[in-house]
Amino acid sequence: MTHQIVHTEGESNTSSARQTWLQESIGPKSAPLLRRDADAFLHQSLSSPCVSTIAKAEGIWIEDLDGRRFMDFHGNSVHHIGYGHPRLIAAIKAQLDDLPFAPRRFTNDPAVELAEKLAQIAPGDLEKTLFTTGGSDANEVALKIARAATGRFKTVSFWDAFHGAGMGAASVGGEATFRSHIAGPLLPGAEHVAPFACYRCPYGHAGPDSCGLACANMVDYVLGREGDVAAVIAEPMRAVPYVPPPGFWKAVRAACDRHGALLIMDEIPTGLGKTGRMFAFEHDDIQPDIVTLGKALGGGILPIAACLARRELDVCGDFAIGHYTHEKNPVTARAALTTIQIIEDEGLIERSADLGHHAMTRLNEALAGVPTVGDIRGRGLMFGVEIVEDRTDKSPGNARAERIYYACLAAGLSFKISQGCVLTLSPPLTIERADLDRALDIVISAIKDNQTE
């Protein structure tokens, strides 16, 4: 099967670095399948055509048809427990033998047990849930609940945010890639404000230490001016990555309370321990009204997502908010339940916090004074290095970042480039420290080797 090894935002399918990679690095077994893939699938940004194949996926590793191996520091954020975790595979196989499917309106033990487990691990009273097959759909459910509970339809979200590819999710999202070529209007009432971006603050602050929380004040201002907003929907930590300034979410929570809006936290890439806490919003000591989970929930094998809401928001019983065929699929539910158990039993949340601190320390020490490095930021095992042309004005180094990416890929490390110039590194929580250090060595060397044109 084919797999998108590189996810490079803003990269053209005809870029010189990409073409050089395809010409020099694709082996004889991979090339025919890539041609078939390009002919069979609809093409779209960031996905098709692909740049390599995948034949095996195990732990932190992916391997193409020609035997080239890569540490996967992207994984579409699904591989918190690594690929093919033996315990998860065994649980899925056993569930297939026991009960492979449940039609909607017939319940089953794995689905109920998963819903109960999510209520247990979620802070506060996030005790009611609905399962979907993907994060975009989970966000659609969250928006419907917010409308039903408040009697309002407007939302406030952030430019550059990503909440899924569905029409509703793309409307509240702010990434141009998912909005710019859609003919006609998107969802009405989807208001956007500038995101928290402390390292490139649109309000003129030099960084979190000098932040006046103008970004949070803008949320409050828009909520007040509109007066009829159902919800603020946002990523608690942007997967770019951007860490919110201290006090930001407390200020937004207070603004939502003042103006009668709900707060929806999209934890689809950040939840389940990626940032060193079970939920990323726990770093900021707030309680949202609705939380969405996905991606890693299926253990890197099966697709499942969830929308968790406070018990008092169970107000949609008289109409449908998500009639999904696989809503209570016992196999996907078993996969999610086992994934959470693995995260807990193996201490992966604490491991994420510890290894993330180690990685950030190494990167800051090794890249201190490198003129082409802007900022190094992140939480847990979701961190990034901004590549710039000029450290003074932080002009983005998009072409340089692309060269660094392909140098790392050639050395056996795959990751994602965000915003055109941020090397975004997100390894599995199961990674060994020695493998993490090996990957960091590759990144550090590639950055230092590409300081000049």
Is residue 28 a part of any domain in this protein?
Answer: yes
Query: What residues contact 419, with CB distance under 8 A and at least 6 apart?
Result: 9, 10, 160, 240, 396
Instruction: Give the domain-ending residue among 288, 318, 345.
Output: 345
Say yes or no: 170 and 256 in one domain.
Answer: yes
pLDDT digit string, tens, across residues 70-113: 999 999 999 999 999 999 999 999 999 999 999 988 999 999 99
Does residue 2 sit within a domain? no
On whether both 215 and 357 belong to a single domain, the answer is: no
Q: Are residues 264 and 128 part of one domain?
A: yes
pLDDT in tens, 195-254: 887 767 777 676 666 676 888 999 999 999 999 999 999 999 988 899 999 999 999 999
Instruction: Mark whether 401 and 255 lie in a shared domain.
Output: no
Q: Select from 312, 345, 378 the last residue of a domain.
A: 345
Q: How many domains are contained in the chain? A: 2
Question: Which pTM does this prediction carry?
Answer: 0.94
Give residue 418's domain range. Answer: 7-81+348-449
The region of weakest confidence among 119-123, 172-176, 271-275, 380-384 is 172-176
Regarding whether 306 and 168 lie in a shared domain, the answer is yes
CA distance 125 to 334: 23
* Same-domain pairing of 201 and 136: yes
Is residue 252 in some structural domain?
A: yes
78 vs 73: CA distance, rounded Å: 11
Q: Are 240 and 422 in contact (CB under 8 A)?
A: yes
Same domain flag for 341 and 357: no
The DSSP output letter for 238 is B
The first and second tokens of residue 341, run together, are 């158990």
Residue 275 and residue 192 share a domain: yes
First to last CA, the chain: 36
Q: Give the single-character DSSP code of 210.
A: G
Candidate ranges 123-127, 203-207, 316-320; pick with highest mean pLDDT: 123-127
266 lies in the same domain as 280? yes
Q: Do residues 438 and 53 lie in contact, with contact meaning Cβ atoms separated by under 8 Å?
A: no
Classify 171 as helix, strand or coil. Answer: helix
Q: Indicate whether 313 and 366 sit together in one domain.
A: no
Tell me whether residue 405 is in a domain: yes
Q: Are residues 92 and 77 in the same domain?
A: no
